[in-house]
Chain A
Amino acid sequence: MTPVKCFLGALALAFASLASAKTIELLNVSYDPTREFYAEFNKAFAAHWQAQTGDTVVVKQSHGGSGKQARSVIDGLQADVVTLALGEDVDALHERAKLIPADWQTRLPKNSAPYTSTIVFLVRAGNPKKIKDWDDLVKPGVAVITPNPKTSGGARWNYLAAWEYARRQAGGDDAKAKDFIKRLFKNVPVLDSGARGSTTTFVQRGVGDVLLAWENEAYLARKEFGQDKFEIVVPALSILAEPSVTVVDQVAKKKGTEVVARAYLDYLYSDAGQDIAGRHFYRPTGVAAVAKYAGVFPKLQLFTIDEAFGGWAKATKAHFLDNGSFDQIYLTK
C-alpha cells in the first residue's frame, strides 16, 4: 500500500466515523417573547433527536423584533428555520429574497402555526381603573401601554384587535373603528419599538394603567414579577395570533440540514412540543395539550386576520404603511 492510498484510507475512515455520530448545528431565528419557550424546547428536541438518530443537535437562537429578524435573514443571516410573530414577516423571505417557496404556509398543519396566542390586558393588582373590555381603554384618564405598530408585530395584533372590536359594536363601521383607535392612542403615553420594551415600561418602570400584551407575555410578566402585583383581564373578543414557522429552504439545502430542520418543526406539533408550548403560555393546537391546558386559558371569542381583514397583505397596506390608518390617526393628533 502506497502512503497516498494509506492516507486516503485513513481519511475515509475518519469521515465514516464522523458520519456515524454527527454534530449538527441549527439556527432558529425567532422573535422576542419566545426566548424562554425555545430555550426549553431546544433541549427537548436535542434529546429526542439523539435518541432517534444518535446525532447531536445544537440549536442556536437569535431573538429580536419580528420584522427586523426577517430583514436579517433576507440580508444573509443563515437561519435554518424561522419562527416569527406573523405570517407577513415570513412572506417577506419569499417576496424579497426567494429563500422559501410562495406556498410555504401550506407545508405544515394549521397554517404553519403550531401554537397560537391572543391579545389580552395586563392591569395592576386590584384593577384600580376597572378595565373589563376594549371600550374601557378609551376612557379619559386611562393610560394604555402598547408598542409602535410601525415596528412591532405584537403592536399590529393589538391595533387590529381593537379595530375589529369597534367595528363589531352596534352601528359600527370602519369610520367608527378609526375614531375608536384615535381615542385609544390619545391614551398612549409611550410607544416602545417592541413588545418586550412595552412590557418593561409597564412592569419595571411602572408607567401606565393597562398593557396590551401577548397572552404569553402577560403570563410571563406575572410569573417573573409576582402574581399579586398584576392581573390579567381577558376581553370578550380578541384576535387569534398565529405565529408562523418554516424551514428556510435555500439555507438548509446549502447547509445540508433540511432533514433535521424539518424534524425540528414537526416536533413543535408533537405532544411533547405542544406541552412545552402550553407550559410557556402559548395556546397549544394539539388535542392532548389543548385538553391539558383548558383550565389555564380562558375562553373568549377569537377572530382571525383572514376573516376580519382579508389577510396580512391587505391589513398592512390599509393600516400600517405610509398614509395607512395609523399615520392618519397618529400624525393628526
Chain B
Amino acid sequence: MAAAISTTLSHHTSHAAVQRATHDPRWVRWTLTTVALLFLGCFLALPLAAVFAEALRRGFGAYFSAFAESDALASIRLTLLAAAISVPANLGFGVAAAWCIAKFNFPGKSVLITLIDLPFAVSPVISGLIYVLVFGLQGWWGAWLIEHDLKVIFAVPGIVLATTFVTFPFVARELIPLMQAQGSDEELAALTLGANGWQIFWRVTVPNIKWGLLYGIILCNARAMGEFGAVSVVSGHIRGETNTMPLQVEILYNEYNFVGAFAVASALALLAIVTLVLKALVEWRHAQARAS
C-alpha cells in the first residue's frame, strides 16, 4: 500500500514537474509563443515565400528557362566547385586544430583559438580585401604572379580562397568544445591496449565526434555556398566565369531580369533548406544515439 502511494506520488510529482517547469501563467506563455511565431513569420517565412512567389510569377516555363542560361549554369558550377574545395579543406584543418587544442596543452594555445575565430569577427568585405592587398597587382605578390601568368584574384583560386577564409571556423568551432568535454581518457585507454595513432583516431576519436563533425560540415557548406561580400571583392565579375550564385542573383536583378534573379535565389534557398533538413536530421539522430 505504502509502495503504491509512493509510486503514485512520485509519478504525480514528476508529472507536475514536467508540466510546470516555470510558474508563469498560461497567458504569458501563449503571448510569448505567439510573438515569437509572428516574428519568425514576418522576418523569415514571408521573405522566403516571396522569393519563391517572385521566381514563379511567370510560371514554371520562365522559371526553368532561367536555368538554361549558360551564365546561370556557370554560376551554379562555380558555387559548387568553391564549396567542394573549401569544405574538405576546412574539414581537414578543423579536425586537426580541434584535436591539438582539445587534447594537448602547449604555449600559444589561446592565440590559436583566437586566430580560428578571426573570420567570424572581421567583416567579409575585409576578408576579400585582404586577398586583394596580397595578390592584387598593387599588392605584395601581384606583380610577380602576373609576370608568371598565375591568376589568383579575379579568378577561381581567389574565390576559393575567400570562401575558405570565411568558412574557416565552422568545423573547428563545433569540435573544440565537444572534444574538450570528452577528454582524452578513451584515447589513453586505447593506447594502453596497444593501438597505434591511426587506429586511435579512426576507432575512438572519430566515432565520438562524428555528429558534431557532420553538423560543422553542414554549417560550413551552407556558408560557403551563400557567401557574398568576400567573394564579390575578389571576383572581378566576369560573366560566365567568376560569378558565384549570390553574385549572379545581384547581376540578374540589376538587369531587370527579376524572374531569373529570384529563380537563382530560390535555387540557393533550396540548397540552404536541404542543408537545414540535413542538420535537423543529424541533430535528431544524435539525440537518439545519446538516448540509447
- Residues in A lying within 8 Å of B, measured CB to CB: 27, 32, 35-36, 60-64, 72, 74-78, 96-97, 196-197, 200, 204, 224-225, 254
Task: Please state if A78 and B154 are interface contacts (CB–CB under 8 Å).
Answer: yes
Q: Is the interface of A mostly helix, strand, loop or mixed?
A: helix
Cβ of B255 under 8 Å from chain A: yes
> Is the pair A78, B151 in contact by a Cβ cutoff of 8 Å?
yes
| Chain B residues closer than 8 Å to A254, beta-carbon distance | 146
B256 and A62 within 8 A (CB): no
- Within 8 Å by CB of B236, from A72, A196, A197, lies A72
B142 to chain A, nearest CB (A): 5
Chain B 218-260 interface mask (CB, 8 Å, partner A; 1/0): 0000000000000000001111110000000001011110100
B residues at A contact (CB < 8 Å): 132, 135-139, 142, 145-146, 151, 153-154, 236-241, 251, 253-256, 258
Instruction: Select one of B153, B239, B254 contacting A200, CB under 8 A.
Output: B254
What chain B residues lie within 8 Å of A75 (beta carbons)? 132, 136-139, 142, 153-154
How distant is the Cα of A64 from the Cα of B233 in the complex, in angstroms? 12
Q: Is the CB of A76 within 8 A of B142?
A: yes
Asked whether, in the complex, the Cβ of B237 is within 8 Å of the Cβ of A74, the reply is no
- A313 to B137 alpha-carbon distance, docked (Å): 24
Chain A residues with CB below 8 A from B146, complex form: 76, 254
5 additional A-B pairs beyond A60-B238, A60-B239, A74-B138, beta carbons within 8 Å, are: A60-B241, A75-B138, A75-B153, A76-B137, A77-B236
What are 18 A-B pairs at a CB distance below 8 A? A60-B238, A60-B240, A61-B238, A63-B237, A72-B154, A75-B132, A75-B137, A75-B138, A75-B154, A76-B135, A76-B142, A76-B145, A77-B236, A96-B138, A97-B137, A97-B138, A197-B254, A200-B254
Question: In the assembled complex, which residues on chain A have CB atoms less than 8 Å from the CB atom of B238?
Answer: 27, 60-62
Q: Decide yes or no: A62 and B142 within 8 Å by CB, A72-B154, A74-B137, A75-B137 being known contacts.
A: no
Which 6 residue pairs of A and B lie closest in terms of their CB atoms, listed nearest first? A76-B137, A75-B136, A77-B154, A77-B236, A224-B256, A62-B237
Give the distance in Å from the alpha carbon of A72 to the alpha carbon of B136 in the complex.
9
Within 8 Å CB of A62, what residues of B?
236-239
- In the complex with contacts A75-B136, A75-B139, A196-B151 CB distance below 8 A: no
Query: In the complex the two chains form, is A76's CB within 8 Å of B240's CB?
Result: no
Q: Which chain A residues lie closer than 8 Å to B151 at the CB level?
A: 78
